[in-house]
């Protein structure tokens, strides 16, 4: 078994901070293979924005490059530039909106640009012309999400302009579903129909189709007719389903375990409230342990009074208000010792805590649990 942290091979005992995230690369490999098998000949673009959904952008990108991902998707230019600096050569699509002064950087680092308006096309072509190069773009069509992209009902003019520019290569065209993880897919089917209507432009003008893509994790699972030329799995790659209502047509398993360790043990008596705001108090003597993790690490304060952790394969409640750097756990009459492992997310077949459970306690979604694990929490990678 190999363990890695911050790009250097180390053993787990070398991790100075007791709170860390372990990423099982074998699970990630299996998830990637399961998705690829499910979509057949369709290309798969891992979406690795927001620090690869909390799993670590650089190491996870290197993993997918090693396993022959055709493309990588990120949200922002700075994420893509970091990957180039780290030696990643896989094509990278930046999904977010752009500013004109960013375009030369896209060209310098051979990054694929999302072109989301005629004005952006003009800026991209001018910048590429000045540098005597060809800009690689994916055209963004808004079929009903109302973020960035040309509205589907204005797309014809957009495409007519796009194909005229000599310093732009239209490699791809894409859209994004608003609620493909829903139990009701009516709106998603409407979005798909709108996208197909836009794509007819290429057939009508006897032009080859660019790479067409619209499917995110939810659509991969529920709308196979939307797979087209490429799909964009995000959270599904990491073994988490995008919603509780989703059809689980691909079997995946979580790649992430979040752990800490007991740093202090004490007995708390009645009349001695716990934590900021004195929100919790016992009516009998209890044993309690302190764990060095808190909302400064992404362990949400809103989980106060709801969260559980696992110590010695048993679940125990977090008591009092979750602090920035510490939580207190009620083990009642049981025993625990300094340096005992504390599982925050993960576990085994006997006892397990999912990021879906944490999301329920925090009143949010699993995406936010994963992407809010702070970068001060070390990531440790292992595989067999």
Q: How far is CA 168 from CA 132, 137, 151, 163, 289, in A?
A: 11, 7, 21, 8, 60
pLDDT of res. 30: 98
Active-site pick, 153, 200, 264, 276: 276
Q: Which pLDDT score is estimated for 62? A: 98
Scored b (16 or more CB within 10 A) or e, 271-301 reads eeebbeeeebebeeebbbbbbbbbbebbbbe
Query: Which DSSP letter does residue 139 get?
Result: E
pLDDT of residue 187: 98
Which pLDDT belongs to residue 11?
A: 45
Q: CA 27, CA 101: separation in Å to the nearest integer?
A: 40
Percent of the chain with pLDDT strictly greater than 70: 96
Global pTM? 0.94
**What domains are defined for the chain?**
41-238 (3.20.20.10), 256-383 (2.40.37.10)
pLDDT for the residue numbered 16: 80
276 is catalytic: yes
pLDDT at 4: 54
Residues of the chain with pLDDT below 70 are: 1-15
- Whether residue 54 contacts residue 377, with contact meaning beta carbons closer than 8 Å, is answered with no
Q: Are 152 and 194 in contact (CB under 8 A)?
A: yes
pLDDT per residue as tens digits for the range 74-91? 999 999 999 999 999 999
Q: Report the chain's C-alpha Rg in angstroms.
A: 24
Instruction: Pick the catalytic residue from 49, 62, 120, 259.
Output: 49
* pLDDT score at 349: 82
pLDDT, tens digit, for every residue of 176-227? 999 999 999 999 999 999 999 999 999 999 999 999 999 999 999 999 999 9
Structure tokens at 351: 């006892």
Give yes or no for a contact between 79 and 60, defined as CB atoms under 8 angstroms apart. Answer: no
């Amino acid at each position: 078994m190999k363990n890695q942290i911050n790009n250097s091979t180390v053993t787990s005992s070398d991790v100075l901070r007791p709170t860390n995230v372990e990423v099982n690369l074998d699970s990630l490999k299996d998830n990637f293979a399961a998705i690829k098998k499910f979509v057949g000949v369709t290309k798969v673009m891992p979406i690795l924005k927001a620090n690869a959904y909390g799993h670590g952008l650089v190491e996870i990108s290197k993993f997918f490059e090693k396993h022959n991902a055709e493309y990588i998707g990120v949200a922002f230019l700075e994420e893509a530039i970091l990957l180039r600096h780290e030696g990643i050569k896989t094509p990278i699509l930046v999904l977010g909106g752009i500013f004109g002064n960013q375009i030369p950087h896209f060209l310098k680092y051979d990054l694929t640009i999302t072109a989301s308006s005629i004005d952006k096309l003009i800026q991209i072509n001018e910048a590429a012309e000045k540098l005597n190069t060809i800009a690689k773009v994916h055209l963004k069509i808004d079929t009903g999400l109302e973020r960035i992209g040309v509205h589907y009902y204005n797309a014809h003019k957009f495409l007519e302009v796009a194909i005229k520019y000599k310093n732009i290569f239209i490699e791809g065209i894409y859209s994004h579903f608003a609620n493909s993880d829903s139990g009701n897919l009516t709106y998603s089917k409407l979005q798909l129909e709108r996208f197909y209507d836009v794509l007819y432009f290429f057939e009508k003008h006897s032009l080859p189709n660019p790479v067409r893509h619209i499917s995110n994790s939810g659509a991969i699972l529920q709308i196979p007719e939307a797979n087209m030329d490429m799909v964009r799995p995000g959270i599904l790659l990491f073994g988490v389903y995008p919603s509780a209502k989703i059809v689980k047509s691909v079997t995946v398993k979580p790649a992430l375990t979040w752990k800490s360790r007991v740093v202090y043990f004490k007995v708390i008596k009645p009349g001695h409230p716990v934590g900021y705001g004195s929100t919790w108090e016992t009516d009998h003597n209890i044993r309690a342990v302190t764990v060095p993790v808190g909302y400064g690490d992404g362990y949400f304060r809103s989980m106060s009074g709801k969260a559980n952790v696992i110590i010695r394969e048993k679940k125990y409640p977090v008591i009092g208000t979750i602090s920035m750097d510490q939580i207190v756990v009620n083990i009642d009459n049981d025993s625990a010792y300094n340096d005992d492992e504390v599982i925050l997310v993960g576990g085994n077949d006997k006892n397990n805590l999912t990021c879906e459970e944490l999301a329920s306690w925090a009143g949010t979604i699993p995406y936010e649990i994963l992407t809010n694990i702070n970068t001060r929490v070390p990531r440790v990678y292992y595989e067999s």
